[in-house]
Structure 1
Amino acid sequence: VLAAELGVARNTVLYAYEQLASEGFVLPDRRGTVVAGSTGVPAALPVVDGQDGLSRRARYLRGVAGQDVNAALVFPADAMGAFAPGVPALDEFPLAQWRRMLERAWRALTPRQLNYGDPAGEPALRMAIAEHLRVARGVVCDAGQVFITDGTQSSLDVCLRAFADQGETLWIEHPGYGGALAAGRGAGLQVTGIAVDMDGIAPTHADWLATPPRLIYTTPSHQYPTGSVLSPARRMALLERARAAGALIIEDDYDSEFRHGGPPLAAMQGLVADAPVVYLGTFSKTMFPALRIAFIVVPAALAGAFAQMQAQGAARGRVAEQLALAEFLRSG
């Protein structure tokens, strides 16, 4: 009936239903298909201190110990052979193809491009990443919202200094990524661990009242280290409560590209208009760790001020690698 109403093939409708089911938006059973539970759709970007949306960016204090957090927050990545987290199948990487793209990039470089690069990253790479994210991850962004960094840890350090002041509260998952704990303490934030369950990070009403966050760090596509996926209802609830609290969610899309069944889940960032989400991604898993290229997608309302802050920092390099990566992305 739906295929006839829309004037499309029956298989098109079936594929659409399968996609919605794989992402958890509908629940199929023998009696039919029903919409998964939701807590409603949030509306507007939260108000952040200052006209430019950025914090006062207190000086980065390496080693500052914030609020004491249970040591279990840190998940040790001991050597575990084939089961070591964060290490891709390096012997499967198409090294010859990558070498050809690097050579083409170096041949095309002008003397001017040997100077310090754009602090935000090469425009060609930022555009390629934006195009890729729109198609593959459902992220709503343009190239002006994309900023290149040296890795997820670097992205975290920049975000914590940009969007929170010393003494403000950072929520991280418990157990969770030890790098988030280290970055929070280094930025002088009060770090609070929020328990996770089989549906991902699970803040309670008491958590919101007792320790209202400025920033919330989460790995919704593949919680590290438990592997749970943040459910659609939990995602919407987190977006809604974060917006109401004036908080920003830092969505680390860890391992989102690797799915053993069904397509990748859509990112939280694109679920609602003007989502209060800073999106982090990296090429350490899809390419190789030594590449040291990652990226941040900043909300459109904060992108201009964030760009000004980045311009005050160290100028970026590795132009040839960025241009080669842009070609690699465009090539599929």
Structure 2
Amino acid sequence: MAADVRMQRTQVLGVKGLVKRYGDHTVVDDVSFHIGAGETYGLLGPNGAGKTTIICMVSGLIPADTGSIELAGSAMTPASTRLKSHIGLVPQDLAIYPDLTAKENLQFFGRLQGLSGRDLKARTGEVLDLIGLADRAGEQTKKFSGGMKRRLNIGIGLLHRPTLLILDEPTVGVDPQSRNSILESVEALATEGMAVLYTTHYMEEAERLCDRIAIIDEGRIQAEGTRGELVELTGGVDRIDLHGSGNTGAAASALRRLPGVKHVDGGASGLTLTVHNGPGLLAPVVAEAGGAGMALSSVEIVRPDLESVFLHLTGKALRD
């Protein structure tokens, strides 16, 4: 079903075979992906993986050595001035004026993007509401926290209603509360039908926001898909930890015979099971362990995540 829904989306961005070299160093190596309208697509990888270079090529800031980029049905190059108006780019570095208020910043950049009059006024109010700064609209931005500045940065990228919004590590260096506010703002964009390209090295952000994710390392896309599709690459198995006492040996023997249980390990404080579909097996596992004489004190399901996928594909942790 998920694949059918993806096929029905109108393609906004198509990237094929992008390569970028600096001297003998290949920064981006044969990267291809596409994004549909209303879809949030994540590039997940460590710092230095090539994410920002890809964004610079997609937004027409630098040329690709080889490969092609198609935006809204037309070829994108650094010379594509008209096409660039379809993009809202939110860079890692803040692009706001500290002596202007939040409202003045939005109005200034809105005029640069061709907005004026009632449309500019209305859109400024809409964006301030979306990024949660309506109550601070008249305050100079030099008084803002880092998180508030980041949210305003996103708002500037949204003003002209872009077809494609590009967010390059938008939560770097902000506190947890501000980070959550930023993520809530990005989540709201899906309802506007906007295509979003989101780069991050935080797996929990990719899992929360992105419809599809490309895991990128050393300039190459190692794998791509929904969270579920990527997790399947690790074997798609869950872990159930049973903590307790009693007849754990008999419980282990009984659980090994239970359909869906791949492996059972015994420990000092209980048993660890490797299973398919941990949530679905939880009730029969608990019943079987109790029936075999094990007194349970706690049960925990541990599901594979994108960190596990990255480690599986690259042999290193995501934040190495």
TM-score of the aligned structures, taking structure 2 as reference length? 0.32
TM-score of the aligned structures, taking structure 1 as reference length? 0.31
Higher relative contact order (CA 8 A, sep 6+): 1
Of the two, which has the highest radius of gyration? 2
